[in-house]
Amino acid sequence: MAPKLAVLAVLASLLGAVSCEFSISIYAGYGFPPPNPNQPFKLPPASPPKNPRPDLKVGYYAANKCPQAEEIVKRAVEEATPGEKAGLIRLFFHDCFVQGCDASVLLEGPDTERTAFPNLSLRGFNIIEKAKAALEVECKGIVSCADIVAFAGRDASCSLSDGKINYQVPAGRYDGNVSRANDTFLNLPPPFGDLKLITDMFAAKGLDQTDMLVLSGGHSTGRSGCGSFANSFSNRLQADNSSTAMNRTLADQLNTTCTADSVNVPLDYKTPYALDHQYYKNVQEHNVLFTSDAVLLESPETKVLVDSFARDPFFLSDIIPIGRNPWYDAFAKAMVKMGNWEVKNSTVGEIRQFCGKVNDKKTY
């Protein structure tokens, strides 16, 4: 029995490491206008869920459009730093939540999404531009910036998780022409949000509470400016008796490090460069930066999920794991689901020549 188990365990570990084929006052602290008590914050009208999208297809470019498309994006992502890779995962989220997954987050210019406060710390734009430039040489006018963002989010997740997160990306998105700074405030959840607000804001994008909790695991890598969790409206570093309070040891360390809002600290103090299930252990131990992370312990439904994702696989020996933590596959599925949101087609979108600007209608 033991040798059989060992073989199964080796197989499982190999499978797990396949190569990377491919109350509203809070708003003021996040760059929002001061709240008006006579006018409570309203969620944007929820559009009906549009999942699954029959018009997106796995291998969309592979057949004859541009067979090397995904490989070109993958090569660009491979050259990115771990920090830029974290940025690419967040970029996909910020793209999909505002105007749908249509690369509106990449458009440059006054009052575009890029200029809005929650997007000022986005990174990875250079990697998208690099991939787009290479794609325009190989397959001019074929591959949308929206699909590049989706592929790059997958490739970054795969790389940072050491191959544990690996999935196929349905593609065929077109690029949008609208990008407004104000849309970001209404659509991107703030780090000070409570469980209801965060859940509702994901529901408005066709994502349920489990998807929200699974995708929040993105906070197992990358960084945050101190101003995102310690400011005059909501200071997570102050001593606090609430159930969502930060672990005092971490808060004391951050009190020393956070000498200015612009100082960056790791989101995951234990394994900052890995996209892994450590995040859920951090949530259990109150070692998380944002209220939106800490509130995942607040309801019995979310706590059960946090506990199950926090569990390490059982190890047969020091190096042979048995089974797989379910979070990695759940994250892959939720990323695909998020990528379905309000996808544009050729009637309302275009394939941009440069990801930072809409096409000049006369020349392209």
Active site members: 94
CA 364 to chain centre: 32
**What is the smallest separation between the CB atom of 5 and ligand HEM, expressed in angstroms?**
34
Using CB under 6 A, which of 223, 281, 344, 352 touches ligand HEM?
223
Alpha-carbon distance of 215 to 192, in angstroms, equals 17
Helix (H, G, I), strand (E, B) or coil at 350: strand
If binding is defined by CB under 6 A, does position 198 make contact with ligand HEM?
A: yes
With binding defined as CB under 6 A, does residue 114 bind ligand HEM? Answer: no
3-state class (DSSP) for residue 177: coil
Task: Establish if 112 lies at the interface with ligand HEM (CB under 6 A).
Answer: no
Question: Distance of alpha carbon 137 from its chain centroid, rounded?
Answer: 29
Position 205 contacts ligand HEM (CB under 6 A): no
The pair of structure tokens assigned to 134 is 């290479």
How many Å from the N-terminal Cα to the C-terminal Cα in the chain?
Answer: 65
Binding-residue pattern over the window 273 to 292 for ligand HEM, x denoting contact by CB under 6 A: -----------------x-x
> How far is it, in rounded angstroms, from Cα 347 to Cα 353?
17
Asked whether position 87 contacts ligand HEM by CB under 6 A, the answer is yes
At a CB cut-off of 8 Å and minimum separation 6, what does 17 contact?
A: 162, 163, 164
Whole-angstrom Cα distance, residue 223 to residue 32?
22
| CA 179/CA 97 separation, integer angstroms | 12
Least separation in angstroms between residue 23's CB and ligand HEM is 16
307 is in an annotated binding site: no
Q: Show contacts with ligand HEM in window 66-85 (CB under 6 A).
A: 83
Q: Count interface residues toward ligand HEM (CB under 6 A).
A: 27
| Segment lying near ligand HEM (by CB under 6 A), choices 63-71, 213-221, 277-285, 303-311 | 213-221
Stretch that binds ligand HEM, among 184-192, 248-256, 341-349, 354-362 (CB under 6 A): 184-192
Query: Of 172 and 193, which has the nearer Cβ to ligand HEM?
Result: 193
Cβ distance 231 to 29 under 8 Å? yes
Quick one: which of 187, 224, 278, 287 contacts ligand HEM (CB under 6 A)?
224
The single residue among 16, 29, 176, 191 that binds ligand HEM, judged by CB under 6 A, is: 191
Residue 1's contacts (CB-CB under 8 Å, 6 or more residues apart) are: none
Angle at 221 between CA 324 and CA 113, to 5 degrees: 125
Q: Which of 9, 26, 73, 89 binds ligand HEM (CB under 6 A)?
A: 89
CB of 134 to ligand HEM, least distance (A): 23
Instruction: Identify the bridge partners of residue 175 per DSSP, sorted by sequence position.
Output: 350
Q: Which two tokens stand for residue 201?
A: 């804001």
| Residue 215 binds ligand HEM, judged by CB under 6 A | yes
Stretch near ligand HEM under the rule CB under 6 A, chosen from 109-117, 134-142, 188-196, 340-348: 188-196
Q: Which of residues 292-321 bind ligand HEM (CB under 6 A)?
A: 292
